[in-house]
C-alpha cells in the first residue's frame, strides 16, 4: 500500500518537507467541463450573458486561482509558477464548456493541485456567470490528465 505523504509519524496532518528534493521542470494538465442546458449554452456561445464574456472571465479566474492554490488547500506549498495556461472551449454536441489547464514551474514539488484548482475555479466562474439562465448546470469530469517531472516521472491518464 502506498504511504500517504501528508501525515507525520503520529498521524497528524503535515506539510511535506521538500527541502532535500531536487529542482526539476514540472508540468501538470487537468481538465473538466460545465454542462449547460441548450438555451443557456446558446447564450454563452452568442455572448449574450449579461455579466460579460463568460470564457474570458473564467480563464482569468482560473489563472488567478492557480496562483492562490496554497491559500486554498492547507497543505500545498506556495509555488513560483512560471506558466498557467487555460483553454476554454464550447462543445456544441455536449452543450458544455470544456476547460483545460496546464501549469508549469521549475521546482521541488509538483503542480497538480494548481492545475486542478485552476479548472475547478474556472468551472465555478462559468456556473456563477450563467446561473441566472440555467439552474440545471453540472460541473463534472475534473481530473488530472497528465503530469511530468519529479521523482515519480511522467503520468498520462488513459
Catalytic residue (one of 8, 17, 128, 141):
128
Phi-psi region of 81 (alpha: psi -120 to 50; beta: other; left: phi over 0): beta
To which H or E segment does residue 116 belong? Answer: helix 112-130
- Residue 151 cell numbers, joined: 521523482
Question: Residue 23: how many CA atoms within 13 Å on its side-chain side?
Answer: 6
Is 128 a known active-site residue? yes
For 40, residues 6+ apart whose C-beta sits below 8 A from its C-beta are 130, 133, 134, 137
Give the orientation angle of helix 112-130 with respect to helix 54-67, to 10 degrees: 150
Active site residues: 128
Amino acid at each position: 500500500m502506498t504511504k500517504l505523504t501528508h501525515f507525520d509519524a503520529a498521524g497528524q496532518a503535515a506539510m511535506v518537507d521538500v527541502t532535500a528534493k531536487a529542482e526539476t521542470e514540472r508540468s501538470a494538465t487537468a481538465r473538466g467541463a460545465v454542462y449547460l442546458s441548450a438555451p443557456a449554452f446558446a447564450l454563452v456561445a452568442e455572448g449574450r450573458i449579461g455579466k460579460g464574456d463568460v470564457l474570458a472571465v473564467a480563464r482569468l479566474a482560473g489563472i488567478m486561482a492557480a496562483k492562490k492554490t496554497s491559500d486554498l488547500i492547507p497543505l500545498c506549498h506556495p509555488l513560483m509558477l512560471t506558466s498557467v495556461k487555460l483553454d476554454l472551449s464550447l462543445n456544441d454536441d455536449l452543450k458544455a464548456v470544456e476547460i483545460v489547464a496546464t501549469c508549469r514551474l521549475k521546482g521541488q514539488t509538483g503542480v497538480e493541485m494548481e492545475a486542478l484548482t485552476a479548472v475547478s475555479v474556472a468551472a465555478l466562474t462559468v456556473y456563477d456567470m450563467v446561473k441566472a439562465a440555467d439552474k440545471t448546470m453540472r460541473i463534472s469530469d475534473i481530473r488530472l490528465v497528465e503530469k511530468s517531472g519529479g521523482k515519480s516521472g511522467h503520468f498520462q491518464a488513459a
